[in-house]
Amino acid sequence: MSKSNEAKKKQANVVLMLTGSIACYKSCELISRLVKEGHSVRCVATEAALQFIGAATLEALSGNPLQVGMFDAKMNIDHVSLNKWADLFLVCPATANTINKLAAGLAEDLIGATFLANNFKKPFWIAPAMNEGMYLHPVTSRSIGLLRELGCFIFEVGEGRLACGDVGKGKLLEIDLIWEKMQEVLR
Ligand SMILES: Cc1cc2nc3c(=O)[nH]c(=O)nc-3n(C[C@H](O)[C@H](O)[C@H](O)COP(=O)(O)O)c2cc1C
């Protein structure tokens, strides 16, 4: 890319939200690519996500403090200020639990409260990752359908060997494909 094109490129503020899936490690690649391209990243993780990825990794990759609980804002990073700051929200990986909670409008955690406060003013994208049974469950299907209808962009899932050993649908979509879609907002 030429220097003049680089100068024209928009530097975006991305809020990357991680939930409790083995696929959390894959999001590190996204954070790394975003930061390398000059974008700003703030990570939000659920308590369950921290069973799969360490706060130190997310903070080191993003260069920003990680936010987990709704009430532990170190730098005024709460659901309202995140909405003012962000150009794009991406829940990646998104568990069945979080997807179903978002569809129900629950605001008991930072992801849910941020989603409601956003109210589709900024793009809110969701990349599901789960076992096939959870993905095809009618409750999850209904939640995904409702969130799409309301205006969320929901990535497809991949197929293949899942972390639980089963083969089927539900893997996090390949990071390259998520990255490709993100270029719509980042350029
Ligand atoms: C080893 C292991 C892997 C898991 N992987 C997933 C997953 O990929 N997707 C999913 O929806 N839930 C998965 N779960 C279950 C979630 O972590 C659990 O439902 C949790 O409450 C999700 O909370 P959160 O949505 O607040 O992050 C896994 C649980 C374990 C123990």
Query: 6 lies in a domain?
Result: no
33-56 as b/e: b if 16+ CB within 10 A:
bbbebebbbbbbbbeebbebbeee
Query: 36 lies in a domain?
Result: yes
DSSP secondary structure letter of residue 67: B
Is ligand 1 within 6 A of the CB of residue 18? no
- More confident site: 71 or 156: 156
Backbone angles phi, psi at 113, to 5 degrees: -70, -40
Nearest C-alpha to atom 17 of ligand 1 is from which residue?
Answer: 20
Q: How many domains does the chain have?
A: 1
Question: Tokens standing for 20?
Answer: 């409790």
Q: For the purposes of burial, counting CB atoms within 10 Å of the CB of 87, is it exposed (0-12), middle (13-18) or buried (19 or more)?
A: middle
Is ligand 1 within 6 A of the CB of residue 24? no
Query: 160 lies in a domain?
Result: no
What is the share, in percent, of the chain residues with pLDDT greater than 90?
79
Mean pLDDT of the chain: 91
Say how far apart CA 46 and CA 56 lie, in whole Å. 15
Return the amino acid letter for 17.
Answer: M
Quick one: which atom of ligand 1 is closest to the CA of 49?
A: 27
Query: 178 lies in a domain?
Result: yes
The CATH number linked to 82 is: 3.40.50.1950
Say how far apart CA 44 and CA 17 lie, in whole Å. 5
Query: 8 lies in a domain?
Result: no
Query: Domain range spanning residue 78?
Result: 18-152+170-186
Q: Is the pLDDT of residue 17 over 70?
A: yes
Is the preceding peptide bond at 93 cis, omega within 30 degrees of 0?
A: yes
What confidence tier does 9 reach under pLDDT thresholds 50, 70, 90?
low
Query: Of the residues 92, 95, 143, 164, which should be mutated to test ligand 1's pocket, given the most ligand atoms within 8 Å of the CB?
Result: 95
| pLDDT per position as a tens digit, 157-184 | 999 887 777 888 999 999 999 999 999 8
Residue 14: strand pairing partners? 41, 88
CA angle 61, 81, 25 (to 5 degrees): 25
> Separation of 38 CA from ligand 1 center, angstroms?
31
> Separation of 23 CA from ligand 1 center, angstroms?
10
Whether 28 is catalytic: no
Say how far apart CA 91 and CA 124 lie, in whole Å. 8
